[in-house]
Amino acid sequence: MRFLYVIPIMIVIVGCNKGDVKPHIDETLIGRELPAQESWNSTVLFTDSGQTKAVLYSGHLQMFDERKETILDDGLKVEFFNSFEIKTTTLTSKRGRVDERTNDLFAIDSVVAVNDSGIVVKTDELVWRNKDKKIVSNKFVTIDSPQEHIEGFGFESDQHLRNYVIYNITYITRADKN
């Protein structure tokens, strides 16, 4: 009878002595740069001397130190404010990125910029240049205002979409008042 108790104990002892357990290593991460910071449903305020200049909203934000770049995914929205802190322009896109060396913002894919005067700019990519606070694009752009509809390639404007230029106009028409 004692023999029956010894056999299960021996099986347990032998079964537990197979050596160290090695953890699984995810090979897909090797060689890939991981973000230094990451957040979801982010809101970033840009201020100067206590005044709000812009507010950025992003569904997913990833900051990469080595590349000096911030990736913005899952929807991007930027609201620009004038010197009286009144919202003048809203820019939206599906994704974007910020070059941390220049602080330029690249809005990418289904970009729409709308100002408080009813001017709507649509394109595939826009760049907000930090150094001169201009919105530029070398892509195809459409601009709809209460007075006209313009299409063309190459665009530059102040960030409030008050003064804009399309460099290569391909189509222009007056807006229908009706």
Cα 101 versus chain centre, distance:
16
Report yes or no on 16 lying in a domain.
Answer: no
Report yes or no on 144 lying in a domain.
Answer: yes
pLDDT value at residue 84: 93
Mind listing the pLDDT tens digit for each residue in 111-162? 999 999 999 999 999 999 999 999 999 999 999 999 999 999 999 999 999 9
Asked whether residue 56 carries a pLDDT value surpassing 80, the answer given is yes
pLDDT value at residue 30: 59
Report yes or no on 24 lying in a domain.
Answer: no
Q: Is 63 exposed, middle or buried (0-12, 13-18, 19+ CB in 10 A)?
A: middle
Report yes or no on 27 lying in a domain.
Answer: no
Listed residue (38, 92, 97, 95) closest to 67, CA to CA = 97
pTM, two decimals, is 0.79
Report yes or no on 78 lying in a domain.
Answer: yes
Helices (H), 67-167: none
Our count of domains for the chain comes to 1
Report yes or no on 19 lying in a domain.
Answer: no
Domain that holds residue 148: 36-174
In which band, very low, low, confident or very high, does the pLDDT at 51 lie, cut at 50, 70 and 90?
very high
Q: What CATH number is given to the structural domain containing 89?
A: 2.60.450.10
Listed residue (131, 141, 139, 140) closest to 161, CA to CA = 141
Mind listing the pLDDT tens digit for each residue in 62-92? 999 999 999 999 999 999 999 999 999 999 9
Report yes or no on 122 lying in a domain.
Answer: yes
